């Protein structure tokens, strides 16, 4: 038995967080996993109430950890159920402490807002971007390119969009064939190289899969070798055949320019359509995500997907915290314990995704982080800042939610679980260590269901590549049998 002093500590209200409005399926293990990132958890108890959502009592070792947990979790969809939970510390001093912290955060955010207002650019284009897609302003945002091979958009079809160029037929198939294998019959829209520069067999393959391929061209300055293809250089690139009046934005990484591509494509669809924008190289499909999305009028209509918070939060990751410093040195501290929301997969309705892409582009134009001394090339800093600061939640008609890794069923982003900075004792095989593969090899959510999409699979390349290629081969065989 514990000493009396230890028992008193367990009942210390300053170390206990009460979590309400939990999903009906909440279990102690899942609650513990959601809160362990804030500090050592002594105990968790889930209390079920007849006719009401469950409650959970989370007891921490330290009062500071409990305060951080309540502050970061309260009002968020921490369990991927589409509804915000409430989290408060059982302490008489909590209200005063929360007010003080809120004041500090408000001051810090005001400093950030002031810095941005003093910048050389303004968001003049942003208000105009909310107009209907047929307006002259939006016509300038369309591309002069058309899909190759006489194919065209189905304005009523759901769509999957990505920037993918320079790849082999097999690499294209890992994305396209695994998606078609789920019986997804909507549009697959890709920004690729022109047909004459495609590798052997790629053009015939993409045409046969009815892929809407846009053969874009670009010029980059100070191109360096051994850089990630999407990022190119800090100085960036310009799109040479995308716009009728030429590229007016100046050099920028293609990781940012791709949002203009998404915007151009989204203008071809009706407001009732759902779409997903993806990283291309490291994504494959196990189920059709559009079959499981909640399309109710009041449900979230913009879905973001987080990386594993046990091994990565904003504060733990030198890259993500570094990217956020573009908005000020104090900003990473504000979101220290927030989950890292991956910019490589975002799903939403056509109006919500259009508002999101417009907001991202507006932020690119103002902050120009790739031109700062830090030379931030990634779009993920923008993605996390706009979500964590609440800017996305203020967009008209947008109901944004994020899903923690391994929850929600839509996209399972697994890369951080095998990160090179993760201690060896905290990582291992997907099946024996993480226990998220079934006997057939499919990746699982933590509730045991199969994830619709797996993102960042290449971080586990030796474990997954044969399985993914097996899905591709299975699809090819089924198509061949239908032809025969």
pLDDT in tens, 333-370: 999 999 999 999 999 999 999 999 999 999 999 999 98
Closest CA to 457 of 442, 472, 447, 446: 442
Q: Return the residue matching tokens 């994504």.
A: 283
Does 271 score more than 90 pLDDT? yes
How far is the CA of 365 from the CAs of 191, 256, 296, 424, in angstroms?
22, 10, 34, 40
Where do we find the tokens 């189920």?
A: 287
Rounded to whole angstroms, the Cα distance separating 186 from 171 reads: 20
- Reported confidence tier of residue 103, pLDDT bands at 50, 70, 90: low
Contact (CB, 8 A) for 41 and 10:
no
Contacts of 269 (CB under 8 A, 6+ apart): 153, 155, 156, 157, 159, 275, 350
Task: Please report which residue ranges of 185-253 form alpha helices under DSSP H.
Answer: 202-208
* Segment 270-291 mean pLDDT: 97
CB 180 within 8 A of CB 205: no
Polymer length in residues for the chain: 484
- Phi first, then psi: what are they for 427, rounded to 5°? -145, 160
Check: CB of residue 457 under 8 Å from CB of residue 430: no
Question: For residue 235, is pLDDT > 90?
Answer: no
pLDDT in tens, 185-215: 999 999 999 999 999 999 999 999 999 999 9
The yes-or-no verdict on residue 58 having pLDDT over 60 is yes
Q: pTM here? A: 0.73
Report the candidate in 20, 70, 67, 29 with the shortest Cα–Cα distance to residue 47. Answer: 20
Tokens read off for 87:
């989290």
Q: Can you name the residues that pair with 454 across neighbouring β-strands?
A: 284, 412
- The closest alpha carbon to 40, from 58, 19, 20, 57, belongs to 58
Q: Are 322 and 359 in contact (CB under 8 A)?
A: no
> In the chain, what's the furthest Cα-to-Cα distance?
78
Two tokens, residue 116? 């941005």
Which helix (DSSP H) or strand (DSSP E) does residue 302 occupy? strand 302-306
| Alpha-carbon 60 to chain mean position | 29
Closest CA to 215 of 260, 157, 148: 148
pLDDT in tens, 36-55: 989 999 999 998 877 788 88
Tokens at 482, concatenated = 């239908």
Q: Which band of pLDDT confidence, cut at 50, 70 and 90, is reported for residue 483?
A: confident
CB 268 within 8 A of CB 237: no
Question: Cβ(332)–Cβ(482) under 8 Å?
Answer: no
pLDDT(259) > 90 = yes
Average pLDDT over residues 17-33: 89
CB 112 within 8 A of CB 328: yes
Query: Rounded to an integer, what distance in angstroms lies between the CA atom of residue 350 and that of residue 348?
Result: 6
CA angle 353, 355, 360 (to 5 degrees): 90
Of 104-113, 138-147, 370-379, 385-394, the range with the lowest mean pLDDT is 104-113
pLDDT digits (tens, 9 = 90+) for 137-168: 678 899 999 999 999 999 999 999 999 999 99
């Amino acid at each position: 038995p514990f000493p009396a002093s230890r028992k008193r500590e367990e009942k210390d209200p300053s170390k206990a967080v009460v979590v309400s409005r939990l999903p009906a399926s909440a279990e102690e293990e899942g609650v513990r996993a959601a809160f362990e990132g804030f500090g050592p958890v002594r105990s968790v108890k889930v209390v079920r109430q007849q006719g009401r959502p469950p409650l959970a009592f989370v007891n921490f070792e330290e009062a500071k950890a409990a305060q951080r947990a309540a502050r970061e979790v309260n009002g968020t969809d921490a369990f991927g159920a589409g509804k915000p939970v409430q989290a408060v510390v059982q302490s008489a001093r909590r209200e005063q402490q929360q007010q003080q912290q809120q004041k500090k955060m408000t001051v810090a955010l005001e400093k950030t807002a002031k810095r941005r207002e003093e910048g050389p650019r303004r968001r003049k284009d942003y208000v105009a971007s909310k107009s209907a897609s047929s307006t002259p302003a939006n016509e300038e945002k369309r591309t002069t390119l058309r899909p190759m091979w006489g194919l065209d958009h189905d304005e009523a079809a759901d769509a999957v969009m990505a920037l993918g160029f320079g790849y082999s037929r097999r690499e294209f198939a890992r994305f396209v064939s695994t998606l078609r294998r789920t019986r997804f019959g909507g549009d697959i829209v890709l920004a690729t190289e022109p047909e004459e520069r495609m590798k052997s067999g790629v053009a015939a393959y993409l045409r046969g899969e009815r892929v809407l391929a846009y053969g874009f061209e670009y010029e980059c300055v100070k191109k360096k070798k051994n850089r990630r293809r999407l990022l190119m250089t800090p100085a960036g690139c310009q799109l040479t055949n995308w716009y009728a009046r030429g590229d007016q934005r100046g050099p920028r990484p293609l990781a940012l320019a791709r949002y203009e591509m998404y915007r151009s494509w989204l203008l071809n669809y009706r407001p009732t359509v759902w779409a997903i924008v993806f990283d291309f190289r490291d994504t494959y499909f196990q189920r059709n995500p559009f079959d499981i999305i909640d399309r109710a009028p009041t449900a979230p209509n913009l879905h973001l997907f987080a990386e594993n918070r046990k091994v990565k939060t904003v504060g733990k990751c030198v890259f993500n915290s570094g990217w956020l410093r573009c908005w000020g040195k104090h900003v990473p501290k504000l979101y220290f314990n927030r989950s890292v929301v991956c910019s490589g997969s975002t799903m939403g309705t056509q109006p919500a995704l259009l508002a999101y892409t417009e907001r991202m582009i507006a932020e690119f134009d103002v902050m120009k982080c790739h031109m700062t001394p830090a030379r931030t090339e990634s779009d993920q800093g923008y993605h996390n800042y706009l979500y964590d600061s609440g800017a996305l939640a203020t967009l008209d008609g947008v109901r944004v939610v994020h899903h923690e890794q391994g929850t929600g069923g839509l996209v399972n982003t697994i890369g951080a679980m095998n990160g090179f900075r993760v201690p060896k004792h905290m990582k291992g095989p997907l099946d024996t260590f993480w226990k998220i593969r079934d006997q057939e090899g499919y990746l699982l959510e933590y509730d045991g269901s199969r994830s619709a999409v797996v993102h960042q699979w290449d971080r586990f390349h030796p474990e997954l590549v044969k399985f993914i290629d097996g899905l591709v081969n299975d699809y090819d065989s089924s198509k061949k049998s239908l032809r025969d």
